[in-house]
Structure 1
């Protein structure tokens, strides 16, 4: 095992995150999942068919006769702004984007990729995590350079696999949660922070300076394990295609996930009206945007 010393903003309290080419599933579970430690791998995806097949042209040729909701800007810390376009138009806009100004294409985020294209599930392998979990959910992330998913924690263990392009990830361990300003903003399966790492306002959020922030750049073929409870903000440095899998153990399934589903039901029914990232006003009605994605 080699250890990659990753850039941290809190240099005086710098930590290290392990980086390996490959890892045995038993070692991974013992040393990282159970220990709640992040891990960067460089070689676990080298045999994935996705690494040879997936591209923006490949996805643009897949047939999906459906409109999708696209994120505009950082919905975790900003307003929940979405646009609605056909799947084909969305992919074409990303392919044609040259970063030369004008309206930026939207971000096809939390895309139910294997529900819409079940044949693609054989192109990836998340068994490193999923074989020890009782439930897992996958999502695709397809978008232009500059997209941001703001600071949040997931209620399950997350494997983020980078297929095309590069992404920068800010990571903060759970021990620094007291410096992260959690909010009551509702987003299914997550807790969001008031902090935007791109636009940090020290006057409003001074404690963030005390957090140890790891900055990791993911390249194609890199996979990052983000344990349950770790804060992370993700920015696309290039046009990017990623896929993630969030896994839940027994406790996570029956305590966290089910209780959150009850809260989601109350929220959808309008009985829990916290600000959220999951609803928009469409044709004069409040609708849950995940219906399309």
Structure 2
């Protein structure tokens, strides 16, 4: 497989981001954009317990660390447990004592934890109104299988580290994407840590882009780019992500139309 390192940039103006990354549909790690976030110094179990109310939360659980644990069966294969938020925070403080991996996934900050909104700042590169802002809290070792989103994405790392691998949208067939007609059209069945090349032989030659996202860094994941996310930290890890409507101009170019066509063929 052909590995490419995702570049890192700091002090990008909106015009530079638009020209060099958003319109060309190119991923980039942004550094220095979270230095003014109070979350970087405040967020953790004690702060959450003193700031947020206790409530029942739906937490994804997995024995093998993947969410869903069997990606070939689709997103519906994810298992969940209901528990008190405070109990969850206390439990993941000692992940070495856990016999399963837990993940509080895409919880809306405006809807579920509005008290935390003052601790973060939306990137200046988002010009669309009302982006979707989500909180992710994992016990460490969490893996999200190869998938793509239907919106542009900024993934901001607050605590812990994540290894992220990205694939261009044109690689859909080589990633054995599930049928475009299914509820799992944006999910690949490939187990990246242990691929079965007898089933997925084309995956051997897929070029990919990679980075390790450190605390205080933000990754731009363009619309329709496939990505695999592995929380390599073994302690409680916190991330925030923004889903938003990015530029649509690239998708009316010759390459964009070709990519959309290839996506339409997935699973056939």
Give the aligned partner of residue 212 of structure 1.
Answer: 207
Q: Which has the higher contact order (CA 8 A, sep 6+)?
A: 2
Mind listing any 5+ residue stretches in structure 2 that lack a counterpart? Answer: 250-268
TM-score, with normalisation over the residues of structure 1? 0.74
In 1, the alpha carbon distance for the partners of 2:175 and 2:157 equals: 26
Give the aligned partner of residue 196 of structure 1.
Answer: 191
> In the alignment, is residue 248 of structure 1 matched against residue 233 of structure 2?
no
Could you tell me which of 103, 122, 126 is aligned with 1:126?
Answer: 122
Give the aligned partner of residue 272 of structure 1.
Answer: none
1:165, 1:220 within 8 Å by CA — same for their partners in 2? yes
Give the aligned partner of residue 92 of structure 2.
Answer: 94
Cα 1:57–1:237 change in 2 (3 A) is: farther
TM-score, with normalisation over the residues of structure 2? 0.81
Give the aligned partner of residue 35 of structure 1.
Answer: 24
In 1, the alpha carbon distance for the partners of 2:160 and 2:244 equals: 24
Q: Deviations over 1:178-198 (max 9, x none)?
A: 2111114526xx711111212
2:223, 2:246 within 8 Å by CA — same for their partners in 1? no
2:144, 2:229 within 8 Å by CA — same for their partners in 1? yes
Q: What is the alpha-carbon root mean square deviation over aligned residues? A: 2.1
In 2, the alpha carbon distance for the partners of 1:39 and 1:139 equals: 20
Mind listing any 5+ residue stretches in structure 1 that lack a counterpart? Answer: 1-9, 253-293
1:183, 1:194 within 8 Å by CA — same for their partners in 2? yes
Give the aligned partner of residue 143 of structure 2.
Answer: 148
Matched residue pairs, number?
236
Q: Deviations over 1:184-239 (max 9, x none)?
A: 4526xx71111121231111111111211223111101110000011111111122
Cα 1:106–1:24 change in 2 (3 A) is: same
